[in-house]
Amino acid sequence: MGDDPLGEVIKVLIPALDGTVPGLDARVAADALIGAFADNYRCERPEDLEELERIGYPGGNALENLVDAGAVAPADIVPAGLTILPALARLCLSDSVSILHLTA
């Protein structure tokens, strides 16, 4: 994600994650991923801070965030995570420093 605005990153993640796990809302999955690195992200834009406040995750682990959000049952989290990984890997197939350039 580099320096991309979080709101724009979420707009790319949602279609990439849509339908990966039956019954999992792609927006919830994108929020869980963004929330997982919230402790390490340099929030320099006011809109990034607003996104993080909307998400409400203090950081941690994306899989734990999905369970905490009630989006995936604890017993199903490992298969769900393994299903999400290939969708994320497809976003990494470019040498661009930005996933936003993949959609341009």
The string of pLDDT tens digits covering residues 24-48 is: 999 999 999 988 887 777 777 888 8
Task: Write out pLDDT tens, residues 41-88.
Answer: 777 788 888 888 888 866 789 999 999 999 999 999 999 999 999 999
**Does residue 56 belong to any structural domain of this protein?**
yes
Residue written as tokens 């949602």?
14
Q: Which amino acid is at 92?
A: C
**Does residue 12 belong to any structural domain of this protein?**
yes
Q: Which amino acid is at 83?
A: T
Whole-structure pTM value: 0.85
**Does residue 1 belong to any structural domain of this protein?**
no
**DSSP label of 76:** G
The domain tally of the chain equals 1
Q: What is the pLDDT of residue 104?
A: 44
CA-nearest of 40, 52, 61 to 5 is 52
**Does residue 15 belong to any structural domain of this protein?**
yes
> Are 32 and 62 in contact, with CB atoms under 8 Å apart?
yes
Distance, CA of 41 to CA of 86 (rounded, Å) = 23
Q: Which domain holds residue 56?
A: 6-102
**Does residue 94 belong to any structural domain of this protein?**
yes
